[in-house]
Amino acid sequence: MTNSLTHFIEERMMIDFTTLRFALLADTFHCPVKGDFEFNVDFLILVNHQGDIADTVKADDTHHADMVVALREAGKLEVLPKGQYLMPGLVDLHCHAPQWPQAGKGLDLPLFDWLQNYTFPLENRYADNAFAANIYQDVSRTLLANGTTSAVYFASIHRESTEVLAQSCLELGQRAFVGKVNMDNQEQCPDFYRENSVEQALYETELFVNNVRGLAGNEGGLVKPVITPRFVPSCTDPMLKGLGELVQKYDLHMQTHCSESDWARDYSIERYGMSDIAIYAEAGLLNNKSVLAHSIFIDEKDIAMLNQLGAGIGHCPLSNMYFANAAMQTRELLDANVRVGLGSDIAGAPSPSIFRACFDAVTHSRVREDGVDCHLPADQRGVSGSRISYLESFWMATNGGGQVLNEKIGVFASDYHFDAIVVSPDSERGNLRVWPEMDSPRDILEKIISLSQTDNISKVWVQGKQVR
């Protein structure tokens, strides 16, 4: 009976059950379309042995009921209890892993002082691999506990301990994009924390790329190397050019800071007479999987260049409120179809939660829309029509982040990697409450974004493997 039913379903669905690792039946949120969401009750997700989604079946599909029975009888079905919600894992496009011990310190300083007094002395301690190992494991574990299944990490200038970070992510099962930081400009980098020479830095960076790709257990590419010039002021021309050549040679991801503040923008104009995006493009650093953190002061020419090259932005809304000197034009970027995702910018903002970044992105846009100076008339105070919605912020945190990285993550669809979290509202722990008779699916999603804490994130899968 079991075998014949399974066989019958397999034939009708053209799916061989032996290729499946498991199937999940769950009430599911995701955002296939920017600005919109889907809530699918009893959504069936089939995950193959590689950890990718083999198929999805909605409850109103004619095969759904038979599939559920056959999968259960085949011992492959996991059912999520009602009142718990499955969602795509969150994507953090910008996190400084070595700055984790600094989270919450000195955020009332200007960027330059904060970097010189707090960040560079701390990052320099990662010359010590043992010091690094402890902290790097904690960062990756903490981000996973917050539902971040994919993280894009700046490390420090040290190749060896950056490899420790890559190894740690691999062992904990986090999808990670890890970069050895490059900074060699004597005029901007302290003597105690900069590259010895461009040649040495490029040699170490290329070695890092090959070592990460060759890590045992990384054959599927769960952890990827990222070319990481810190930002324009910290790099000489030969450094930017050399890193651009590596991006091209190996078709690599690239991450950097872009037009983050008045100071950073003015520095580039003074040194090159060009915007950061033009500088990075000319150095060959930009491609369809580049992550430009912040990108506050960018104009229409920059936006056209981003779209032409397929490069994306990591929006870090809380960090911007401390360091950017202006609000992010998120509304315009979304409308111009620029690829945009969200970043924590640890420790330029203290929270490791991308739900928090979603919430902050909405808040940021609301303050921008209304403006800040109470002495101005209302119609001159802000930028009218510039708010973004919670749905758009959640799209950025999942689907948008996946698009920036050019990875099949962020939605539940065939061929995408199964990276997912379960959110459990719970009156015993945390602040998230759902009252089913009062809360629509959209209300529930907005509450999850606004109120979820680590206690509410009860399961995490990356590449089909449960990692928490």
Residues in touch with ligand GUN (CB under 6 A): 96, 111, 115, 119, 230-231, 257, 260, 319, 323, 345, 348
Quick one: what does residue 135 bind among ligand GUN, Fe ion, none, with the CB cut-off 5 to 8 Å set by partner type? none
Q: Which lies closer to Fe ion via its Cβ, residue 155 or residue 422?
A: 155
- The residue with its CB nearest to ligand GUN is 348
Pairing of strands 181-182, 223-229: parallel
Answer whether 258's CB lies under 8 Å from 294's CB.
yes
For residues 244 and 218, the answer to whether their CB atoms sit within 8 Å is no
**Assign residue 411 a region: left if phi > 0, alpha if psi is -120 to 50, beta otherwise?**
beta
Closer of 173 and 229 to ligand GUN (Cβ): 229
Output the six-digit token pair for 291.
């992550």
Q: Which two tokens stand for residue 244?
A: 């651009």
Question: Is the Cβ–Cβ distance between 174 and 151 less than 8 Å?
Answer: yes
Residue 232 or 247 having the CB closest to ligand GUN? 232
- What is the three-class DSSP state of 406? coil
Min CB(170)–ligand GUN separation in Å: 24
Beta carbons of 448 and 441 less than 8 angstroms apart: no
Among Fe ion, ligand GUN, none, residue 177 binds (CB under 5-8 Å by kind): none
Residue 231 interacts with, from ligand GUN, Fe ion, none (CB under 5-8 Å by kind): ligand GUN
Q: Taking CB within 5 to 8 Å according to partner kind, which of ligand GUN, Fe ion, none is near residue 344?
A: none
Q: Determine contact, residues 70/5, Cβ cutoff 8 Å.
A: yes
Out of ligand GUN, Fe ion, none, what residue 260 binds, judged by CB under 5 to 8 A for its kind, is ligand GUN
Distance set, CA 459 to CA 22, 79, 149, 355 (Å):
15, 13, 11, 16
User: What is the CB neighbour count within 10 angstroms for residue 14?
Assistant: 7
The CB-of-234 to ligand GUN minimum distance in angstroms stands at: 7
Q: How far is the CB of 348 from ligand GUN (least distance, A)?
A: 3
The minimum distance between CB 241 and ligand GUN, in angstroms, equals: 20
Which spans of this chain sit near Fe ion (rule: CB under 5 A)? Answer: 345, 348
User: Which of the choices Fe ion, ligand GUN, none does residue 457 contact, using the CB cut-off of 5 to 8 A by kind?
Assistant: none
Q: How many residues belong to the chain?
A: 468
The residue type at 19: T
Rg (CA), the chain: 23
Nearest distance from C-beta of residue 273 to ligand GUN, angstroms: 21
We find the least distance from the C-beta atom of residue 286 to Fe ion, in angstroms, to be 18
What minimum distance in Å lies between the beta carbon of 324 and Fe ion? 11
Q: How far is CA 108 from the centre of its chain?
A: 25
Nearer to ligand GUN by Cβ, of 206 and 260: the residue is 260
Nearer to Fe ion, 179 or 244 (CB): 179
Contacts of residue 297, Cβ cutoff 8 Å, sequence gap at least 6? 259, 262, 265, 275, 326
- 92 interacts with, out of Fe ion, ligand GUN, none, CB within 5 to 8 A per kind: none
Q: Tell me if 352 sits within 8 A of 90, measured CB to CB.
A: no
Nearer to ligand GUN, 120 or 359 (CB): 120
The nearer residue to ligand GUN, 115 or 445, going by C-beta atoms, is 115
For the bound state, the minimum distance from the C-beta of residue 190 to ligand GUN, rounded and expressed in Å, comes to 13
280 binds, among Fe ion, ligand GUN, none (CB under 5 to 8 A by kind): none
Give the nearer residue to Fe ion in terms of CB position, either 42 or 345: 345
Phi, psi of 29 (to 5 degrees): -105, 140
